[in-house]
Amino acid sequence: MDVKVKAQDLLSYEGDSLVVNLFEGVKQPGGATGAVDKALSGAIVAAIRRQEFSGKLHERLLLHTFSRLPVLQVLVIGLGKQGEFGVDRIRSASAEALRRLRQAGARRVGSVVHGAGAGGIDATQASAAVTEGALLGLYRFGKYRRATEDGERGLQQLTLLERDRNKIGSLEEGVRLGRILAEATIFARDMVNEPANALTPSELAGRAKKMAGGLGVAFKTLERAEMKRLGMGALLGVAQGSEHPPKLIVVTYRGARGKGRGLRLGLVGKGITFDSGGISIKPSEGMEAMKGDMAGGAAVLAAIKGIAELRLPVNVTAVVPATENLPSGTAQRPGDIVKTMNGKTIEVINTDAEGRLILADALCYACDAGVTHLVDVATLTGACVVALGSVRTGAFTNNRDLMRRVREASEISGEKLWELPLDDEYSEQIKSDYADMKNVGGRKAGAITAAKFLANFVGKTPWVHLDIAGTSQAEKEQGYQPKGATGAMVRTLITLAMGFAGSKQA
């Protein structure tokens, strides 16, 4: 969908539909909504008076204009209470409004920039949020379906209307930023939604290569032979059950050549293209969701895409260990002991705790490559889903300052996270009788013991681990989040890199 900004009065817009908004409880709307109400002979105020509409969050009032305006319909979207308003509500209001209009058959829609008026939000931030909400909320993974619902034609153009010419530049800057953030997120969503018969480790590498090539970003993969040479026994152990060869995908963006203080951000993402559990096989119910077990890998690749498109003056390396976790005659067994790249040995008690195994070698690889800060993203544990549900990503760290930066980025992005502790005592649970550690720590504190395990492979490098098991896929549509892959943490990682680049944060 095309998104543009136009210096034009709302009332003269000649597309199919218009979007205006209302804060909850406002009885006599002013500004754009007031002007539209007047043009419609008081239809909005009448609906408010008759209590058909009150401006509650995401409440929608669809009015026909009967030629009182050039457009066919006006949609009023509720913004909720003014005191609770913020950038994330702009994203979700934009999404909810446009989905309704798409359903109503609209192709060209004009909209106010929610929040930029009475909301008091900076014009660039507001237009970025409207754009993100629009593109993310209208996203569908339709490639395997013959037709979309009810003969919809799909929204083709969104025009942000602003009378004040002095604001146009700022609004356009926001649209550019919002589009880059949304398209990166969609790049990740498309990979997560893709079934595992199509998105093999090679295909994941292929998509990363294509993305990197288009942006002049360095790309390479390590093949099995190279992994052996480097001693990546944990990654190879997981990969040995699959017919598809594993790939270690490495993408490096250098935006701070010569500049910066030698800072280099490492992003490591779990890339299990299908997790059957291996010999410790999972129950069949819901196993199809495990095609999304590469969501962390998709997130870090997508982050590189966004960072490169923004040309941020920062150096970033993404590392994605990609393989399937399948049972077979060659698969790894419970009880097997593997050795990682940094020489530590692991007793594999449960082959379904494969994420931490492949990440162990990938984290070692990133540290060896000289990254100064590390963030890993992984659909790592069911225990994290038990703890935080699908609302917040679990976050863990060995470094307060990096956690502060990640948290700030997540707040700007509207991607909620919650920190969980990493006390020394938890290490007790992953002690092995036969090796340096074992890959499961029992029923208690499963998300934490998984993170404690990973801590063995980052050395002293400042590190944040993000467990997106609960947040990478949505069971139902809400706000700018359709059902299915969310692209969780993509916008947070890009915003984090903006912080590192010292550039203006959006």
The smaller minimum CB distance to ligand BES, of residues 29 and 241, is found at: 241
The smaller minimum CB distance to Zn ion, of residues 112 and 248, is found at: 248
- Report, in Å, the least distance between residue 384 CB and ligand BES: 8
The smaller minimum CB distance to ligand BES, of residues 324 and 352, is found at: 352
Task: Report the alpha-carbon distance of residue 385 to residue 469 in Å, rounded.
Answer: 6
Smallest Cα–Cα separation from 272: which of 297, 248, 252?
297
- Report, in Å, the least distance between residue 128 CB and ligand BES: 30
The smaller minimum CB distance to Mn ion, of residues 75 and 199, is found at: 199
Which of the residues 254 through 283 are near Zn ion (CB under 5 A)? 272, 275
Question: For residue 22, what are the contacts with CB-CB under 8 A and spacing of at least 6?
Answer: 29, 33, 44, 48, 53, 55, 76, 77, 78, 79
- Report, in Å, the least distance between residue 442 CB and Mn ion: 16
Which of the residues 85 through 114 are near Zn ion (CB under 5 A)? none
Q: Residue 275 interacts with ligand BES (CB under 6 A)? A: yes
Count the Cβ atoms, other than its own, within 10 Å of residue 424.
7
Count the Cβ atoms, other than its own, within 10 Å of residue 45.
19
Q: Residue 242 interacts with ligand BES (CB under 6 A)? A: no
The smaller minimum CB distance to Mn ion, of residues 354 and 415, is found at: 354
The smaller minimum CB distance to ligand BES, of residues 52 and 288, is found at: 288
Q: Residue 293 interacts with Zn ion (CB under 5 A)? A: yes
Task: Report the alpha-carbon distance of residue 439 to residue 425 in Å, rounded.
Answer: 16
Q: Residue 352 interacts with ligand BES (CB under 6 A)? A: yes
Task: Report the alpha-carbon distance of residue 349 to residue 352 in Å, rounded.
Answer: 9
Choose from ligand BES, Mn ion, Zn ion, none: what does 350 bind? Cβ within 5-8 Å by kind: ligand BES
Q: Cβ(340)–Cβ(346) under 8 Å?
A: yes
Smallest Cα–Cα separation from 321: which of 381, 272, 370?
272
**What does the DSSP 8-state code read for residue 159?**
E
Q: Residue 55 interacts with ligand BES (CB under 6 A)? A: no
Specify the long-range contacts of residues 204-211, CB closer than 8 Å, at least 24 apart: 204/247, 204/249, 204/271, 204/273, 204/294, 204/297, 204/298, 204/320, 204/322, 205/247, 205/249, 205/322, 207/301, 208/249, 208/251, 208/301, 208/320, 211/187, 211/251, 211/301, 211/304, 211/305
Q: Residue 379 interacts with ligand BES (CB under 6 A)? A: yes
Stretch that binds Zn ion, among 231-239, 289-297, 304-312, 473-481 (CB under 5 A): 289-297
Q: Residue 385 interacts with ligand BES (CB under 6 A)? A: yes
Q: Give the chain's length.
A: 506
The smaller minimum CB distance to ligand BES, of residues 158 and 383, is found at: 383
- Report, in Å, the least distance between residue 277 CB and Mn ion: 5
Catalytic residue among 356, 407, 438, 452: 356
Stretch that binds ligand BES, among 375-383, 423-431, 453-461, 490-498 (CB under 6 A): 375-383
- Report, in Å, the least distance between residue 10 CB and Zn ion: 49
- Report, in Å, the least distance between residue 386 CB and ligand BES: 9
Provide the token pair at 391: 């609302």
Residues that bind Mn ion (CB under 5 A): 275, 352, 354
Per-residue binding letters, 419-458, with ligand BES (x by CB under 6 A): ---------------------x-----x------------
Smallest Cα–Cα separation from 114: which of 132, 94, 95?
94
Nearest residue to ligand BES, scored by beta-carbon proximity: 382
Nearest residue to Mn ion, scored by beta-carbon proximity: 352
Smallest Cα–Cα separation from 325: which of 379, 400, 389, 374?
379
Task: Check if 431 is active-site.
Answer: no
Choose from ligand BES, Zn ion, Mn ion, none: what does 346 bind? Cβ within 5-8 Å by kind: none
Task: Check if 89 is active-site.
Answer: no
Q: Residue 495 interacts with ligand BES (CB under 6 A)? A: no
Residue with tokens 């013991």: 449
The smaller minimum CB distance to Zn ion, of residues 37 and 324, is found at: 324
Q: Cβ(263)–Cβ(372) under 8 Å?
A: yes
- Report, in Å, the least distance between residue 129 CB and Zn ion: 33
Catalytic residue among 38, 56, 108, 282: 282
Which of the residues 459 through 488 are near ligand BES (CB under 6 A)? 469
Q: Packing angle between helix 446-455 and helix 355-368, nearest 10 degrees?
A: 30
Per-residue binding letters, 280-299, with ligand BES (x by CB under 6 A): -------------x------
Provide the token pair at 357: 């195994």
Count the Cβ atoms, other than its own, within 10 Å of residue 39.
17
Q: Residue 324 interacts with ligand BES (CB under 6 A)? A: no
Residue with tokens 């507001």: 126
Q: Give the containing element (helix H, strand E) for 338.
A: strand 337-339
Residue with tokens 């809400």: 478
The smaller minimum CB distance to Zn ion, of residues 40 and 378, is found at: 378
Smallest Cα–Cα separation from 37: which of 21, 55, 59?
21
Using the CB atoms, write b or e for 100-135: b if 16+ within 10 Å: bbbeebbbbbbbbbbbbbbbebebbbbbbbbbbbbb
Residues that bind Zn ion (CB under 5 A): 272, 275, 293, 355
Residues that bind ligand BES (CB under 6 A): 275, 293, 350, 352-355, 379-383, 385, 440, 446, 469
Q: Which residues are catalytic?
A: 282, 356
